[in-house]
Amino acid sequence: MTRAEVESWKNSLVYMNNALLGAGTPDDAGVAIEYRIPLTAKRVDFILSGLDLRQPGPGRPLV
């Protein structure tokens, strides 16, 4: 990994952290960074997951 890539990561993660804190993201939300999609060479940059418990009944997954 190059120095430019490391700096880009640092900047992106600071931005995402600030965005999530400002949005009131629950503390128990899941975060995946550079998630590799199985059976492919592709990756997802950032995934936020959790359950929507605001609706009656079983929790609904949010991705």
Q: State how far the alpha carbon of 32 is from the alpha carbons of 14, 23, 28, 53, in Å.
A: 15, 18, 13, 21
- Answer whether 44's CB lies under 8 Å from 35's CB: yes
Helices and strands in the chain, H and E counts = 1, 3
Helices (H), the chain: 3-22
Its pTM stands at 0.66
- In three-state secondary structure terms, 12 is helix
**pLDDT by residue, tens only, the chain of 63 residues:** 788 888 888 888 898 889 888 888 888 888 898 889 999 999 888 888 888 777 777 766 665
State both tokens at 2: 């190059």
